[in-house]
Amino acid sequence: MKRITLSILLTIAVLTTLVPSGVAQDEPQTNDPLYASLEQAFEAELTAYAANHTDAEVLAYAQQRMDQMTDDALANPEPTSTCATSSSFPQAYDYGEDSDDFEFCMQTRGEECRRNYNADLIGSSSTSASILAGCAALTTGGALIICVAAAMAAHAAGVASARERYQGCLTRAYSDCTLQYRR
């Protein structure tokens, strides 16, 4: 009974990660080349690690790696690509009273973008941790490595997706504030 319950929980966790929600978001898909390459890379990393460690140590290592991905993304939301960053927007010029309004608009909209970004990261982290828990309960050996690699890849893809949405949010904020206060 316990095994069936855990199997159902794992299935639900995987489906919530891989099936897009009603909101248009770039969730990781199993046919996504980035996701596939991440999964292969994590599988190779975990296979090498598992050669000298127990299943419990592999799980702890995977959780630590996912925690590190989350911590790095929280500390530095800017992607490594050439996307617009918050520091790449033109400096504010003195447009009189509208300049203060523009700065306030950018500050509040930027904070909103950051809150949504943080929520996306924590959501990805919790979903991946749930998948990892299901992996621990249901698999061992080679199957464990495949399952854990999928959880890690889902989280890495979720972090990349959160960064893209964050950049889009900042760009929209700049555009909206510029249109409203710098006519």
Lookup: tokens for 15: 């489906």
% of the chain residues with pLDDT over 70: 72
Hunting for tokens 């999928």 — which residue is that?
A: 150
Rounded-to-integer distance, Cα 183 and Cα 180, Å: 7
Contact 65, 150 (CB under 8 A): no
pLDDT for the residue numbered 33: 80
The residue that leads in pLDDT, 142 or 84, is 142
Q: The tokens 């959501």 sit on which residue?
A: 123
Is pLDDT larger for residue 99 or for residue 13? 99
- In which band, very low, low, confident or very high, does the pLDDT at 142 lie, cut at 50, 70 and 90? confident
Query: Using CB atoms within 10 A of its CB, is residue 140 exposed (0-12), middle (13-18) or buried (19+)?
Result: exposed
pLDDT digits (tens, 9 = 90+) for 164-176: 999 999 999 999 9
Q: Exposure string (b/e) for 61-77, b if CB count within 10 Å is 16 or more?
A: bbbebbeebbeebeeeb
Spell out the domain ranges in the chain.
2-17+32-78+91-181
pLDDT in the model for residue 62: 96
